[in-house]
Structure 1
Amino acid sequence: MYRQQVRGVTHTFSSLVEVMAKATPSRSGDELAGCAAESDRERAAAQWVLADIPLTDFLDHPVVPYEEDEVTRLIIDTHDAAAFQPVSHLTVGGFRDWLLATAARDDGDAQLSALAPGLTPEMVAAVSKVMRNQDLIAVSRAVTHTSAFRTTIGLPGRLSTRLQPNHPTDDPGGVAAAVLDGLLLGCGDAVIGVNPAGDDPRRTADLLRLLDEIRERYRIPTQSCVLTHVTTTLDLIAEGAPVDLVFQSIAGTEAANRSFGVSLSLLAEAHDAGRSLRRGTVGDNVMYFETGQGSALSAGAHLGTGGRPVDQQTLEARTYAVARAFEPLLVNTVVGFIGPEYLYDAKQIIRAGLEDRFCGALLGLPMGVDVCYTNHAVADQDDMDVLLTLLAAAGCAFVITVPGADDVMLGYQSLAFHDVLYARRLLGLRPAPEFERWLRDLELADDRGRVLPTALDTSPLRELVSGL
């Protein structure tokens, strides 16, 4: 039992799960789950209580029971006590102060990176709840974690992109045209990744072959992916399809992952199968995971200890423990994609995007974000400009880009290819080094990695669509 008095009113919280939920900045998903603070005063009281809770309490009192959940068992069983030692004496509030002080030091990156195996998702979710947006940005920017396949993701001073050439009917010409558009604007260094319009394995195989043919024909140093279910990818690997990355949506509880049709053992099998192909050139990180606040709630798989609902941001952070167990190349939150039932407006979407970047980075991931919203959310493209700028300042590893910022297959709004040119130019960021060299070799970019406005006039890529 936890109590805190604010302006003469005593607020009582029955458990750590309730404190975490009530301390969370306002969002519609927690209101839908019935676990949100009922007033700003109650939220402030919960944050005050949370700031005084020792970090060790999160090891002693899991928010989802150890006996009932394989994600919790993964978190507890893989916790690195030696890495945790530098902060093991701290409370949540003390940890916030330590993070900000460490991020400001010249050797802060090394210390924060070394700490990652000693942190649990609940610890980083808790500290994020007592931090302002600028705190999240400052600490996120100080953390570096890299991954590699044919390009290196997450290096300081770099902002990579997923080129998302979706098409309503998976038409090869339409997909190729979108790929051309993105490449000419310097996008695609994280992955060229297609969401298939259907779940036909033959169509998925055709898309894999199309992307691989484009990559090989133009010697593009990147990786391709068709975002189908992991079991379909396993079958395609067995058939000899050109699989670079193994994709799967994941969540922060065993029950939510079960709703996706996956388990930790299945992900381990897929990870081993992907690595066995040895298709990488500069690294062997083969997994690509997508996440999003609200996924566990949408599956009715969000209950924790004592049957109480766990707030969606804490469950999202637990998803990153699943991801880091498989050393992924890419992890991104589709921050506004699930809809306003979970993140109602731009303020909530922006806050969630910064939280997800922060929590993923502290837990050791080269964390990316799909800067996006659905058309029935209270948000617009100006709000996405703000979030993109903040995430780029926070050292976000990669973002997702689509033609014209409008995904014509999934029916939601993301970033356009030229939006990333803005962020790179504004903050002096560059593509992944391997991809940047390729752009220069084709005279698509200058020696500072900036895309040239006349690139289409001379580029051999202009024949891409007709050649296919």
Structure 2
Amino acid sequence: MTYAKSVGGRTYRFPDLKTLLAKASPARSGDYLAGVAAEDDSERAAAQMALSDTPLKAFLNEVVIPYEDDEVTRLIIDRHDADAFAPVSGLTVGDFRNWLLGAEANEAALTKLSPGVTPEMAAAVSKLMRVQDLILVARKCRVVTRLRNTIGLAGRLSTRLQPNHPTDDPAGIAASILDGLLYGSGDAVIGINPATDSVPAVCALLTMLDEVIHKYEIPTQSCVLTHVTTSIEAINRGVPVDLVFQSVAGTEAANKSFGVDLAVLKEGREAALALKRGTVGDNVMYFETGQGSALSANAHHGVDQQTCEARAYAVAREFHPLLVNTVVGFIGPEYLYNGKQIIRAGLEDHFCGKLLGLPMGCDICYTNHAEADQDDMDMLLTLLPAAGCSFIMGIPGSDDIMLNYQTTSFHDALYVREVLGLRMAPEFESWLIRKGVFEGADHPRPRKALSSMFAPALARIA
């Protein structure tokens, strides 16, 4: 089907939905790199107007990647819930935007709707939204998940404590963990990116994390962000695994470049569930995504990078994860050139994930060769929790010395919780107060004096 719209006396024609979605995207370097972006603002405006007039039902009749060629497309179509979709089935994309912004689209309605929304629908409506629209609608979506604590409750913001070390040195990792705990970081997960993906090294890190959590009775979960097949092997060896991690993308070919498919992700989830390590729930998966991953693998099929990203959320949604986060500025300026593009992308990703029913967090980050700085990240750091983001990252000093990129620090979480009146996961917060790490019940804050609980550990590290 051809889509067309006249702007300024010129008629623009778009041969299919894939092209229309790409041309309607706000400008970003990755789409120019892929050769799918609008040629100028006039074409972009025409595409957005044509997209606004497009019925939502069109996305069920015309796919951006052929059904027979891509298992992610098959997942999207086969899992679509027609009953959930019914309340908005007669709307155009523009009407859908207006409905989402209205009072009728409350938390209960959006929860019921999510199984009926396809990633392409979510991506399409996001392309018509201002920043404030992305924030307002995402804030109305509430997604709560549980394993050893509860993440995503209203008025709460969790953090991933990320104690990475360039050589996986246990003392260095332990020092970062204790530092983070003293700042109230780690309620989403204590998660390490390992320097090596070898099974023995990963098993050693998993065992160490489990010992720390049990020694101090911390109501949180651990994860070593290794390949899903390495986690499965660790489970087979009897190593304690809380969360199975995997980076995922929005096309079958891109996921194959990561060495995964839907079957192996299912195997990883079933292996983790069999351990029964949850105390308050059974969400055992942790996924990371990011705009540009399909393009960087030359596996995007001519689909714009934001639509590809939204399709990755269909993969994540299938496995009921505890955590999903977009590592929004990590791939580099070839895909998101500057702070403006990173901020917009982070809010788009969060909106699309929440609309699709996912517990979305964000690694608010940039690489050192991008046209971005910490002021840009402070803006996104403030906007995302206002939009109801489930969690952010916590890194010593904002500088990941293993992955060599800039992200958010332990004190950044303290800042945004103070400014927006947010708190930690309830079980984790109660533990911090009970153990003397934090004080105050109404607005918990770190004690000025170190908790005696950590004195032996600190002495060993020193």
TM-score w.r.t. the length of structure 1 is 0.97
Q: Which residue of the other structure, out of 170, 175, 178, is the alignment partner of 2:176? A: 178
SS at match of 2:326: strand
Matches for 1:287-326 after TM superposition, within 5 Å: 287-303=285-301, 309-326=302-319
The corresponding residue for 1:385 is: 378
Structure 1: give runs of 5+ residues left out of the alignment. 304-308
The residue identity in structure 2 corresponding to 1:65 is: P
CA contact (8 A) 1:180 1:462 kept: no
The corresponding residue for 2:78 is: 77
The corresponding residue for 1:306 is: none
1:444 & 1:213 partners in 2: Cα distance? 19
Structure 2: give runs of 5+ residues left out of the alignment. none
Query: How big is each residue's C-alpha offset from its partner over 1:64-107, in whole Å with a ceiling of 9 and x where there is no partner?
Result: 110100000000001000000000000000000000003xx6x7
Q: Which residue of the other structure, out of 317, 335, 340, is the alignment partner of 1:342? A: 335
Query: How big is each residue's C-alpha offset from its partner over 1:15-58, in whole Å with a ceiling of 9 and x where there is no partner?
Result: 11111000000100000000001101110000000000000000
The residue identity in structure 2 corresponding to 1:281 is: T
The residue identity in structure 1 corresponding to 2:149 is: T
Q: Which residue of the other structure, out of 438, 442, 457, is the alignment partner of 1:448? A: 442
SS at match of 1:199: coil
1:165 & 1:347 partners in 2: Cα distance? 28
Once the two structures are TM-superposed, the CA of residue 465 in structure 1 deviates from its matched residue by: 4.1
Matches for 1:178-217 after TM superposition, within 5 Å: 178-217=176-215
The corresponding residue for 1:62 is: 63
CA contact (8 A) 2:283 2:321 kept: yes
Q: CA RMSD in A?
A: 1.0
Query: How big is each residue's C-alpha offset from its partner over 1:254-302, in whole Å with a ceiling of 9 and x where there is no partner?
Result: 0000000001011001110000000010000000000000000000100
1:250 & 1:2 partners in 2: Cα distance? 31
Query: How big is each residue's C-alpha offset from its partner over 1:298-336, in whole Å with a ceiling of 9 and x where there is no partner?
Result: 001000xxxxx1000000000000001000000000000
The corresponding residue for 1:137 is: 135
The corresponding residue for 2:92 is: 91
CA contact (8 A) 1:184 1:455 kept: no
CA contact (8 A) 1:84 1:115 kept: yes
Matches for 1:138-153 after TM superposition, within 5 Å: 138-153=136-151
Once the two structures are TM-superposed, the CA of residue 448 in structure 1 deviates from its matched residue by: 2.4
CA contact (8 A) 2:184 2:446 kept: no
CA contact (8 A) 1:154 1:366 kept: yes
Once the two structures are TM-superposed, the CA of residue 464 in structure 1 deviates from its matched residue by: 2.3
SS at match of 2:246: strand
The corresponding residue for 1:24 is: 25
CA contact (8 A) 1:143 1:361 kept: yes
Query: How big is each residue's C-alpha offset from its partner over 1:140-194, in whole Å with a ceiling of 9 and x where there is no partner?
Result: 0011011100011111100000000000100000000000110000000000000
Between stretches 440-449 and 118-127, larger displacement belongs to 440-449
1:259 & 1:30 partners in 2: Cα distance? 20
2:436 & 2:385 partners in 1: Cα distance? 25
CA contact (8 A) 1:246 1:270 kept: yes
2:197 & 2:401 partners in 1: Cα distance? 17
| 1:320–1:68 Cα change, 3 Å | same
The corresponding residue for 2:222 is: 224
Seq. identity, %: 64
CA contact (8 A) 1:440 1:449 kept: no
SS at match of 1:289: strand
Q: Which residue of the other structure, out of 362, 366, 379, is the alignment partner of 2:355? A: 362
Give the count of matched residue pairs. 459
The residue identity in structure 2 corresponding to 1:169 is: T
TM-score w.r.t. the length of structure 2 is 0.98
SS at match of 1:359: helix
SS at match of 1:364: coil
SS at match of 1:332: strand
Q: Which runs of 4+ in 1 moved over 6 A?
A: none
| 1:439–1:99 Cα change, 3 Å | same
Once the two structures are TM-superposed, the CA of residue 444 in structure 1 deviates from its matched residue by: 2.1
Once the two structures are TM-superposed, the CA of residue 449 in structure 1 deviates from its matched residue by: 4.6
The corresponding residue for 1:273 is: 271
SS at match of 2:205: helix
